[in-house]
Amino acid sequence: MAEIREAVIHFELYRLLMNIISTKYYLFPVKYVWVHPEYSPTTGISVDLVVDADISGKIVHFLVIEVKRKTRFGLSPFSDEAKQQAMRYAEVLQAPYYAVTDGFSLLLFKYPDMEVGRYTIRLDEMIIEKFLRELSEYHLGRIEGLDLPAARPEERIKEIGGKFIETLREVFNSVSGVEGISVRERPSSEHRNFYIEVCGHGEILILGLNLNDREKSYVIVKFDRLKEMLGARYEEYISRLSEIPGFKWIKERQSERFGWKYIRDIVTVEPDCSEIEKKLKQWILEVKNASATPSRITCEKRV
């Protein structure tokens, strides 16, 4: 299925929630009263959807919903970062429940971090009505979980994560024979860390493979080293890197000394691995050539 923009999912889910709550509020054990779209309780926070309810005569923020775009394999709701974002909003709003959805899968949590379930849903009035009814029954302790089809994305996440890691290994290997670039490995008891060094400037890119839990493997981009190398062209090359699949996240972190991200959280947005090898290799070579103080050192080459 093609990608579906967040705005489309957001609008349709808001419409369904409002229709159900405004016309069928009397059907639910918990009295839902309102849905806030793009709710901004304080500066710097904009929550996609907030469902209010009347609990013991008091109107409270009952459910926070964070909406993600629908991607090809439907993995976007399963990012740990998406969960953490929704949890922060629930904390600010003192909401007992929060969820992440792309309109096809929905992860439901009870604050602070108890996972209620991972469900397959549809943007359909009957399904959303059932979700609201069973959530209210769960809240009152009448049921132990929601009776919705389970979502099981883990095998797909592992598959794409493995492919992403192998693609990065190919990139590291392909530049290891280039004069002025060194690829080094530093193993430890828990990790195999691979570093790309541009001579005279140190490491700019790190791939850390977790030997015990592959999903906790990670990528690090050393912004401070890149800034030192590139000078006035730093933002230009960061912008180019952010256009490469799997690295779109770096732009919002470029003011930091370095940025890192778990492979799992990278692949839930499903980067096109077929583009990464060519574009990332090209970017690394261009960074070397554009260095503000080009090194004359011939690096030791290791794979």
Q: Are residues 259 and 222 in the same domain?
A: yes
For the stretch 240-286, pLDDT in tens is: 999 999 998 998 888 899 999 999 889 887 788 889 999 999 999 99
Record the tokens describing residue 141, joined without a space. 């302790």
Q: Which residue has the higher pLDDT, 24 or 64?
A: 64
For the chain, what is the mean pLDDT?
90
pLDDT of residue 298 exceeding 70, the answer is no
Determine, yes or no, domain membership for 189. yes
Last residue of a domain, one of 114, 139, 164: 139
255 CB contacts (<8 Å, ≥6 apart)? 223
How many domains are there within the chain?
Answer: 2
Answer yes or no: is 145 within a domain. Answer: no
Number of H helices, E strands in the chain: 8, 11
Place of tokens 């004069």: 179
pTM of the prediction? 0.75
Give the closest residue to 237 by CA, choosing from 282, 196, 197, 274.
282
Any domain includes 144? no
Q: Which of 296, 187, 291 is nearest to 229 (CA)?
A: 291
- Domain identity same for 21 and 112: yes
In 3-state terms, what secondary structure has residue 32? strand
Would you state the pLDDT for residue 295?
45
Tens digit of pLDDT for each residue in 56-70?
Answer: 999 999 999 999 988
The residue from 76, 111, 139 where one domain ends is 139
Total count of residues recorded for the chain: 303
Domain that holds residue 84: 6-139
Q: Let me know whether 126 and 48 are in one domain.
A: yes
Share of the chain above pLDDT 90, in %: 68
Confidence at residue 293, expressed as pLDDT on a 0 to 100 scale: 52
* Residue 302 domain-assigned (yes or no): no
**Section 123-137 average pLDDT:** 96
Is the pLDDT reported for residue 230 higher than 80? Answer: yes
- For residue 1, pLDDT over 50 is answered with no
Amino acid identity at 62: F
pLDDT, average across residues 41-65:
93
The CATH number covering residue 71 comes to: 3.90.1570.30
Flag whether 92 is in a domain: yes
Strand partners, 224: none
Last residue of a domain, one of 106, 139, 172: 139
